[in-house]
Amino acid sequence: MKGIIFALLGGAFITLQGVANARISQDIGTWQAATITQLTGFIVAFIILMFVKERGEWKKFKQVNPLYMLGGAFAAIIIFSNVTAIQHIGVTLSISAIMIAQLSITFIIDINGWFGLDRKKMRAPQFIGIGLMIAGVVILGF
Amino acid sequence: MMLGLIMAIIAGSLVGIQNIFNSKVSERAGSWPTTTLVLAMGFLASLTMGLIFEGKELFNLENMKLWYWFSGLIGVGVVTCMVRGIRLLGPTYSIMIVMTAQLAFALLWDSLGWLGLDKVPFTSKQLIGVLVIVGGIIVFKIGGRPEKQKASVKV
């Protein structure tokens, strides 16, 4: 039950984040919104980090491929495109298209075993699932 | 319409790749150090892009409202809930619920037009569209795929 509540809240927060960014962008500009949300998020995460057991673990960053450590930088483009999408096509259609793209790219990476992931076989349910989701977006958008 | 969809597809693809990269980092360094690093990188990248496209105008925050300063907290909430949800339910079911909740709240938001966004009226077409997508998520997530899927889930 607790897990379900966390998952529900997680989903609600993801949507809220997109909406809040879109709202803030209207007032102060998209790059400004991205810079401020990432900066304040960083400050809070850093403060929390100081109080958790894991705090010494950052030394292990040295063992990580530097490419993977740059992942966070995508946020600038993610926030910009997310905000632009919400302003043009609304929250529901944006979130739907984002989810489909996300599942599809993850699926393609899994199949090919890119980035050192275990290769996975393609299965019918995943194609049917993506097909259904695209059908849903078509119903929403047209 | 097309521009909005293309932007959404770019955002979603980058989120997918970022999740994989982040989970690679957190395998070694733990979740809070990773979250902190991810947000630091996001800040530096946004600052750089902002300076390239807007120069000094980036620091013109005339219409800033107090709560905007706290919006970054939402991201911390996302990470905390996702990590705990995945730990308690496993990746498959938690992601399924997360995605369904995302859509349900999106629908709610569009139809209420909260926070001054354009209202998108709630119609049966929208409800059917969302239900079909949720059906797709369920088929995708529990349709005979091996449980091992960690790499694709962390936000």
Contacts of B45 in chain A (CB under 8 A): 72-77
d(CA B106, CA B98): 12
Say if residues B122 and A115 touch (Cβ distance below 8 Å): no
Residues of chain B with pLDDT under 50: 147, 149-155
How many A×B Cβ pairs under 8 Å?
449
Dump pLDDT digits (tens) for B63-99. Answer: 889 999 998 899 888 888 888 888 888 878 888 899 9
* Burial category of A90 from C-beta neighbours within 10 Å (exposed 0-12, middle 13-18, buried 19 and up): buried
Could you tell me if residue B64 is left (phi over 0), alpha (psi between -120 and 50 degrees) or otherwise beta? beta
Q: Which residues contact B129 (CB under 8 A, 6 or more apart)?
A: A92, A96, A136, A137, A138, A139, A140, A141
- The Cα of B107 is separated from the nearest Cα of chain A by a number of Å equal to 5
Say how far apart CA A57 and CA B31 lie, in whole Å: 9
Distance from C-alpha of B97 to C-alpha of B85, rounded to nearest angstrom: 9
Considering only CA atoms, which of B20, B1, B148 is closest in space to residue A120?
B148
Percent of chain A's residues with pLDDT above 90? 65
Whole-number Å distance between alpha carbons of A118 and B136: 24
Indicate the residue of B12, B41, B72 with minimum beta-carbon distance to A100: B12
Compute CA distances A115 → B19, B23, B29, B83, B152, whole Å.
Answer: 12, 11, 18, 22, 12
Give pLDDT tens digits for A78-109: 999 999 999 999 999 999 999 999 989 988 88
How do residues A8-41 score in pLDDT, each as one tens digit? 999 999 999 999 999 999 999 999 999 999 999 9
* CB contact (8 A) between residue A132 and residue B133: yes
Give residues with Cβ within 8 angstroms of B50, minimum separation 6: A31, A32, A34, A35, B58
